[in-house]
Every structure is written in C-alpha cells, then in structure tokens.
Amino acid sequence: MRDVVVGAGGSTQWDPLEPAVDLAESGLLDYLVFHCLSERTLALSQLRKLADPNTGHDERLPAICDTFAPYMAQGLRLVGAFGVVNVDRAAEIALTQLRKAGLEGHKVGVVRGDDVLDTVIAENSELPTLGMRVGDLGDKLISAHAYIGAEPIVESLAAGADLVLGGRFTDAALYLGPIAFEKGWGPSDWNELALGFLVGHFLEGARYCIGGNFADPPYREVPRMHEIPYPYAVVGDDSFELRKLPGTGGLNNRHTAKSHLVYEIHDPTKYFSPDVTADISNVIVEEIAEDAVRLSGATATGRPDDLRVAVGLDYGWKSVVEGSFGGPGCVTRAQTTADAIRNRLDRYSYDFLDTHYNLHGVNGLFGDQLKSDSDPVEVRLRVAIRCNTRDVAELINLECEQGIMNWGACGGGGRTRTVTPVIGITSAFIPRSKINITSEVITI
C-alpha cells in the first residue's frame, strides 16, 4: 500500500495558519488536519452559541477556506473539528466560502451527532468523578458531547469529500480517519488502527512533538525555537515517519519523540480512544535521518464499548487579581496584604466555592514543596476566588484590586484583574448504541 502523508494544521483554535500554509505549499501532503478543540472549548462555544445561534464554530473557518482553497483545487484534502458545537453553521460557511473560491463540484463532508445532551438527560447518565448523575445537576448542565471516532470521516472521504468537518472528534481520529480510508483498513484491523492512532497522538500536538515545550538549557537545546513548524507524517503499513520541513526550526529526534509519546497518557497498555484501545508501551522510536524519526510497535486487540462524553457544567464565576511587590521585605508585605484581603473578603465568603492565595516567586506553582534559601527580589500576589454569582465575583474583584493598590502594604503595583465565567468539564460514559453519528456529503 502506498504511503499516506498527513500534516498538522495546528493544535488549537488559536494557532497561526502560516506553518500549515508552509506544509500545503510543500506539495508533500495528501491531507491537512486541523485539531481545534480542548476540553473547555466545547462548553465555552456552547455558551457563545446560546447567546448567538450563528456562532459556536471555529471562527477561523472562513480564513481557512480562503487560504487553502487553491491547494484543495490541486487535490489537498482537509479534515477538521471546525464545527465545534455548531456543525450546521460551519457547513454553511464552508460551502459558501469554497464556492466563492471557485471550488464548485468539490464536496464537503458534514459529520453530526456528537451533541448528546438530550441522551445524557434521558439516560440520567452517571458522572463518576462527581459521584452524581446528570439529573442532579439541574440548571448547571450546559453541554454534553461524545468523543467520536474516525468511522464517519472514513465514510465521508469514501463518498468523495474534499473537506470533512464535524464537532467533538477525538483528536487522534482526525488523523486516523484519512489514513484508514487511504489504506483501506477496516474497523477491526486493530494493529493498523493503533498505528494510525499513534500518528494522531503525535500530530495533534503540532509543535509539541518537534521541539515545543521541550527546551531546558543547557540540558536540552532547541534550535530556532521561534520558527518551529508544524509536523507531518509519512505513514507506511507498519510504521510511520515523523517529519518536519527541511530548513525549519525546532528539533525532531528520539528525545523529542519520546517526550511526546508520554504526553497526556495514563496506562500505556490501555490508551482508550473510540476507534481502538492501543498499547503503546512497546513503541520503538528510531532516528532515521536528521529531523526524521520512525515510530512503530503500537498494538491493539479491541476498542471500548462505551464512548466518553465531555459534560459541561456551570461552575460559577472566577475572580483573579494580581499585583507585585519588590525589594527588601517584599514577601512579608505581599503576605500581609493577602491576609488583609482575606479578612476583608470574609463578608462575602457565603458565595465562595473555592479560594486560592499564592505568591508567584514563592509558592505559585508548587505550594510549599520547593523552598528557596534566599528571599526573592520581587513577588507577585495572586488572589483567585470562584464564586457562585457574578455579582459577588465582580465585587470582590474590585476589593482585591483596592487591597493591592490602595489599603494594603506599601509598594503594591502592576495589578491586573479579570472576572470570567467558569465551565467545569466532567466525564460520562454512554454505550455506542445510544449515539447516532451521521455523515452527509454535500456537493459545492
């Protein structure tokens, strides 16, 4: 079977498009894949959609269509979770933009069915982490989206889609779909699916697997960190090559590859996804050329019966206020101010769900687990409080700012403050048979 070449279009909705354009321009790719969702994105997008039914999709979609239409005209296919929580709106935009760009006769695949809010309500699904059921949430329930697999992507591509879009695809499925389609793998070709899943595990991290989040000088140096590109994979039948374009920044060797192999995994012998439960504990990582790594050895024997569902909850409002203190005694002054703010805020504590006081430079990241022998020359006080109501969050936000700038210890400056809605995400698990995923292919 011929090699399939898939490239990363980014790993979040905020990633720039230029490195993806570089990949498209190289002419090497069969597929360019956009992974645009994080745990929170769905619920936040759901809130946007509730306020305005024309939103909730990946807002970059018009630009993505315009930018990549010329490459699609030459045969490049795109796959992405562009729909987020509004697949219909994303489909409209894609059809309109691609028609404008002159791609009449091309096809758009639209995958629906990941929104399972009605199902989890009807099933009163269990929420194991919270120790409760969906019915216990009342009006706190915002959204529920099933992590869906590669099969509807394969179906869309088989029906001729040049662009496939949907919502909560599992990150790796976005890559596994086109690979499985091109290779002709079936839904029980377990070791092959594990290989395609492993490709997705790497590429969905985009810069993370070729030198991003890696440098720790002098132990680990990454050349031209400001020019780390997006990676691509040349997928064979039992291994794949992780690559980056020649002349780009970043680093691609056995250490960067292994650092990403272990990223966000739990039991490496049971890495769950909708398509395959993969065993990556025996993956072989080989440096085969400068800036090219070969990976092989992922295996599988099945897939889970149930699909994971990301349930979004209204978790109140978060107030965060920060301000800096410097020079002799700065830690004491910041701590004194924190204590005073705590006393001042006590009157609002009936509305508090969680509080977090810390001093950046002392205990911001690791609590008291790492101690310094000497005082820092400056510290930054941070007061984060989650409230039930927006009103109290706004009130205490101002009180904290006043504490730092006005009535606290001397020399507090450079304050910043924010109040934001909080969306909690927790998991439910529902049987596949309860989820109706559809794919529709529309000619432009």
**Site stretch for another protein (CB under 8 A), options 46-54, 390-398, 404-412, 418-426:** 418-426
Looking at the Cβ atoms of 44 and 95, the one nearer to another protein is 44
Shortest Å, Cβ 149 to another protein: 18
Identity of the amino acid at 96? T
Separation CA 320–CA 27 (nearest Å): 46
Residues recorded for the chain: 444
Shortest Å, Cβ 58 to another protein: 19
Closest CA to 174 of 195, 146, 203, 194: 203
Looking at the Cβ atoms of 67 and 427, the one nearer to another protein is 427
Q: Does 284 bind another protein (CB under 8 A)?
A: yes
**Site stretch for another protein (CB under 8 A), options 47-55, 147-155, 363-371, 429-437:** 363-371
Helices 87-100 and 61-73 sit at what angle, rounded to 10 degrees? 50
Interface residue with another protein, options 315, 321, 331, 428 (CB under 8 A): 315
Q: Is the CB of residue 179 less than 8 Å from the CB of residue 240?
A: no
Mark 332-365 as b/e (b = at least 16 C-beta within 10 Å). Answer: ebbbbbbeebeebbeebeebbeeeebbbbbbbee
Separation CA 190–CA 193 (nearest Å): 5
Question: Which residues does 17 contact at the CB level (< 8 Å), separation at least 6?
Answer: 9, 10, 60, 63, 64, 67
Q: Does 415 bind another protein (CB under 8 A)?
A: no
DSSP state of 28: -
The burial class, CB within 10 Å (0-12 / 13-18 / 19+), for 191 is middle
Interface residue with another protein, options 74, 138, 369, 373 (CB under 8 A): 369
Q: Does 427 bind another protein (CB under 8 A)?
A: yes
Q: Does 272 bind another protein (CB under 8 A)?
A: no
Separation CA 98–CA 309 (nearest Å): 32
Looking at the Cβ atoms of 290 and 368, the one nearer to another protein is 368
The site that binds another protein (CB under 8 A) totals a number of residues, namely 55
Looking at the Cβ atoms of 21 and 141, the one nearer to another protein is 141
At 191, give phi and psi (nearest 5°). Answer: -65, -35
Separation CA 231–CA 396 (nearest Å): 45
Closest CA to 251 of 281, 279, 220: 220
Looking at the Cβ atoms of 365 and 398, the one nearer to another protein is 365
DSSP state of 85: T
Looking at the Cβ atoms of 99 and 254, the one nearer to another protein is 254
Shortest Å, Cβ 96 to another protein: 33
Q: What element of type H or E holds 94?
A: helix 87-100
Structure tokens at 91: 């489909």
Q: Does 220 bind another protein (CB under 8 A)?
A: yes
Distance between first and last Cα of the chain: 31
Q: Does 414 bind another protein (CB under 8 A)?
A: no
Shortest Å, Cβ 240 to another protein: 15
Interface residue with another protein, options 12, 96, 282, 343 (CB under 8 A): 282
By CB under 8 A, the residues from 56 to 95 that bind another protein are none
Q: Does 51 bind another protein (CB under 8 A)?
A: no
Q: Does 384 bind another protein (CB under 8 A)?
A: yes
Interface residue with another protein, options 263, 287, 429, 441 (CB under 8 A): 263
Q: Is the CB of residue 120 less than 8 Å from the CB of residue 430?
A: yes
Q: What pairs with residue 27 in β-bridges?
A: none
- Please confirm whether the linkage preceding 421 is cis (ω < 30° from 0): no
> Hey, what's the torsion of the CAs at 238, 244, 246, 247, to 10 degrees?
-160
**Site stretch for another protein (CB under 8 A), options 72-80, 181-189, 314-322, 434-442:** 314-322
Shortest Å, Cβ 443 to another protein: 39
Q: Does 425 bind another protein (CB under 8 A)?
A: yes
By CB under 8 A, the residues from 89 to 148 that bind another protein are 129
Looking at the Cβ atoms of 99 and 270, the one nearer to another protein is 270
Q: Does 424 bind another protein (CB under 8 A)?
A: yes
Interface residue with another protein, options 52, 327, 370, 374 (CB under 8 A): 370
Positions in the binding site for another protein (CB under 8 A): 38-40, 43, 129, 213-214, 216, 219-220, 255, 258-269, 280-285, 297, 315, 318, 320, 354-356, 358, 360, 364-370, 382, 384-386, 422-427
